[in-house]
Amino acid sequence: MRISDTSDRWWKNAVIYCLDVERYLDSNDDGCGDLRGLAQRIDYLAELGITCLWLMPLNSSPGRDDGYDITDFYAIDSRLGNFGEFVEVIRTASDRGIRVVMDLVINHTSDQHPWFLESRSSTDSPYRDYYVWRDNPPTKDQPSAFPGDAKSIWEFDKKTKQYYLHNFYKHQPDLNIAHPPVRDEIARIVGFWTELGVSGFRVDAVPFLIEAKSEAGGKDSTADASDEPLPDPHDYLADISGFLARRNSEAMMLGEVNLSHKEQLAYFGAGERRELQMQFDFVVMQSIYLSLVRQDSRPLGTALADRPELPADCQWGNFVRNHDELTLDKLSDAERQEVFDAFAPDPGMRLYDRGIRRRLPTMLGGDARRIRMAYSLMFSLPGAPVLFYGEEIGMGENLAVKDRYAVRTPMQWTAGANAGFSRAPADELVTPVVTGAFGPEWVNAADQRRDPDSLAHFMRTLIQAYRNSPEIGWGDLTVLEHGDDRVFAHLVRANIGSMLAVHNFADVPVELSLTLPDVAPGSRLVDMLHNGVTPIDDGELTLRLDPYGYRWLRITSDADTRLG
C-alpha cells in the first residue's frame, strides 16, 4: 500500500489508551477519580507514548451501569469535575500530541433522564416518540444483551399500559433513532463535545443502535405507527459521520461492532460514503486467545485471512483486553470451552456464558514471556493498538467485585495505601483495589518506571517501535508459510518499507526457515526490539526463537535512511 498524506487520517496508526476517569486518580480524596487527577497524569501517558486517549462515559448518571446510563448528555458528572477541568485535560493532552476521544452512548438513556420521565408521563407526551413503545411485546422471548439479567427486552410501564424497548438493562430504555427530533439531539450532542475539542467518539454497541430499533417497532408501536418505511439505518450512521466531518475534518468514529468480518464491512461504508473510520476486531482478538491456549498459530492465521479489504481511510482496532467481559462469542461452543478451561477454570471467572472477567496477566499465570509475546503480537498486526488502562504495568482483576467491574479497579500508581489512587479510607473508594499477587505491592507504575526490565519499560519500547513503523498501520499483510504451526510469521508492506514479525506460541524453543518474497539484493534485517542486524541470503532466513519468543525485523538496505 502507498502511504501519502496521513495528517487527516491519524487513526490509521494511532496508539489508543482507554481509561475510566473515576478509577484513574483521585485529586480531592473523596474516593473517586476525577478530571483534575487525570490532568496530573497526562505527562505519564505522554511518556508511555500513546497518541489517543479514549475516555469512558463522564456524563451525569445515576451510575447503575458505570456511567452508561446517562441522564444528561450535555453535562459532566459532578463527582468527576467540571467543564473547565475537562477543557484542561483536552488542552494538556493536545500540548503533548495526544488526541482525546470519548464514549458516545446514544443507544439508550437512563430511565431517570428527563426525556424518559416525560415520555412515560402520558401517551400523548411530545417525548413519547423519543423511545420505542409497543402495546404487546413479541411472543418469543428476546433476552437482553446481558443474558441472565433480563428474560425480555420489553418492560411493561404500569402508568401508560405499554411496553418499552431496552436491549440492555431495563433501567436503560432504548432511544428511537428513527424519530427526527432524536436524530437532531444526537447531532447536537456530537457537535457540542466536538466544539470542546474532542477528536472523535467511540460509539457504543453500534449494531443495537442502528438495527434493533428499526426492526422492533411494528404497527402498534407509538413511534412507528405510520405506514411510511423506516429510513435505512446505515444511511443514518453515514449522516452522523458526515456531520462530524463537517465539524472537524480530522475527527473519527471508532465503533463497537461485534459481528463477523463480512458483516462489519458494511459499517465502514462504501465508496465515498463513510460510516465508521475504525472498528474493533473482535474476531481476531478471540482467535488470539484460542491460539494461546492451543500453542497453535492457525486460529489467528485463519481469522486474519478472513479480514476483508478496507477502504483506504479505515482501520481495525486491535486489542487483547477491554473494559467489558472478554467476550468469546465468535468461537464455537467447543472452542469457547477450551479457552474457559485454560483461562477461566472457575465459573466465577466467567460472565454471561460467553466471556471472561479477568485481565490478560492473570489468565497467563503471570508468565512475563507469554504476556510480552501477546502484546508484541497485538502491536505488530495491521491496525491500531488499543490498550485498557493498567495493561502497561500488568494489572490484574479483583474477582470479589461483581460482573464487569472486576477489571475496572483503581489504577495502581504506587505500592502505598489504596495503590496511590486516593487518600480516602479504603471503604470509600469507588471500587476496591486489587489484592494478592497482582496487588499494588507487586504491580505499580512507580516501581516499574525505575525498573528497566519491567513490563512498563517493555511497553514503552513496543509503542515506540510501532510508532516508528507506519507500515503496520498502512501496509498490506502477508502471512508467511514455514511448516511450523506453533509460530506465526507475517510481513507488512507499504511503499515506505516492510517489516517482518515472528511470534512463537509454544513453550519450547523453535527454529524455522523463512522465504521472504521480493527482497532486494543486499537487504538486511534490523531488529527493532533487540539489538542486531541479520543479512538475508537471497530471501532465505533461519531464525531461532525462545519459548514464547518474538522478533520485529525491518527489511532495510543502505539506501534506507530511517532510524528505526
Neighbours of 148 (CB within 10 A): 10
Q: What nine digits make up the cell of 449? A: 518506571
Rounded CA separation 255/273 (Å): 16
From first CA to last CA, the distance across the chain in angstroms is 20
Active site residue 341: no
- DSSP output for 41-105: THHHHHHHT-SEEEEPP-EE---TTTT-S-SEEEEE-TTT--HHHHHHHHHHHHHTT-EEEEEE-
Q: Cβ neighbours of residue 482 under 8 Å, at least 6 residues apart?
A: 489, 512, 513, 514, 515
The crossing angle, in degrees rounded to 10, of helices 282-294 and 298-305 is 160
CB 472 within 8 Å of CB 466: yes
Catalytic residue among 20, 69, 174, 256: 256
Element containing residue 134 per DSSP (H, E): strand 133-134
- Backbone torsions φ then ψ of 533, nearest 5 degrees: -130, 135
Q: Among 271, 148, 258, which residue's Cα sits nearest to residue 206?
A: 258
Element containing residue 555 per DSSP (H, E): strand 550-556
Q: Among 333, 325, 341, which residue's Cα sits nearest to residue 402?
A: 325
Neighbours of 558 (CB within 10 A): 8
Active site residue 256: yes
Rounded CA separation 505/486 (Å): 5
CB 368 within 8 Å of CB 376: no
Give the rounded distance of the alpha carbon of 238 from its chain centre: 21
Catalytic residue among 20, 22, 185, 204: 204
Q: What separation in angstroms does the CA of 225 have from each of 73, 142, 169, 217, 221?
A: 28, 22, 25, 8, 6
Q: What nine digits make up the cell of 536? A: 538475508
Residue pointed to by grid coordinates 465539524: 247
Hey, which residues are catalytic here?
204, 256
